[in-house]
Amino acid sequence: MNSNRTYSRALIFSATAILAGATGFAQMQQPGGGGGQSTPAQQPQMQNPSATPQGQPASNGNTMADQAFVSSVFESDAAQEQLGQLAQQKSQSEDVKQLAQHMVDNRTKLDDQLTPLADKMDVHKPSKPSKKVRQEMAKLETLSGPQFDEEYIRTVAKENGKDVKDFNSEAQTAQNPNLQQAAKQDATVLAEHQQAVEQIAQTHNITLEAKK
């Protein structure tokens, strides 16, 4: 019970920090309003699962759907990290750079925390960027200034929004109980990330795709 309370408090702290950072981004758009560096939001600590050997019943171990979800999280984390690194190099907007840093930091932490569970499920990180990520990176490489910011924010909003849906779905359908709990709690944090992205989009007068 104590560990669950601690996990919940960590989630609340993370969500608050993300939104506080997003609110401050708008102020940095004013001339001379550089402000201090915001503290990256912390990703909630995943519980270390007990070993679940292959071949056990679905209620106790792995399913192909759970494994596919974990693999997709690794791919999404890698995409957000690489896109964030590119944004820090090319963007001329301080708030976009800070958003990119938040995404890199939080996705790296999520990746690290998911790894012990993934190892027990025999799921491994991708060895190279997916074709989709390479295409997105190539497109962003050709842009600069406000055009880059607009495309980056739209890409992040689209991909992170998809992650929110996937995590909520996994929270309802996962057979691995540790993965189910992690998906449920991390979905809340990713939803807060999405709010931060939407606030920055509004600051830059960027219209995002309608939610489906």
CA 83 – CA 41 distance, rounded (Å): 18
Smallest CA-to-CA distance from 58 within 165, 177, 140 is with: 177
Position with higher pLDDT, 21 vs 117: 117
**pLDDT (tens digit per residue) in 16-28:** 444 555 555 444 4
- 102 three-class SS: helix
Q: How many helices (H) and strands (E) does the chain have?
A: 6, 0
Looking at every residue in the chain, the average pLDDT score rounds to 78
Q: Is the pLDDT of residue 50 over 80?
A: no
User: So what's the pLDDT on residue 61?
Assistant: 56
Tell me the whole-structure pTM to 2 decimals. 0.70
CATH superfamily of 2-18+61-203: Ferritin, core subunit, four-helix bundle (1.20.1260.10)
Q: Confidence class of residue 7 from pLDDT cuts 50, 70 and 90?
A: very low
Predicted confidence band of residue 127 (pLDDT cuts 50, 70, 90): confident
Catalogue the E-assigned strands of 170-209: none
Answer for the pair 182, 3: CB distance below 8 angstroms, yes or no: no
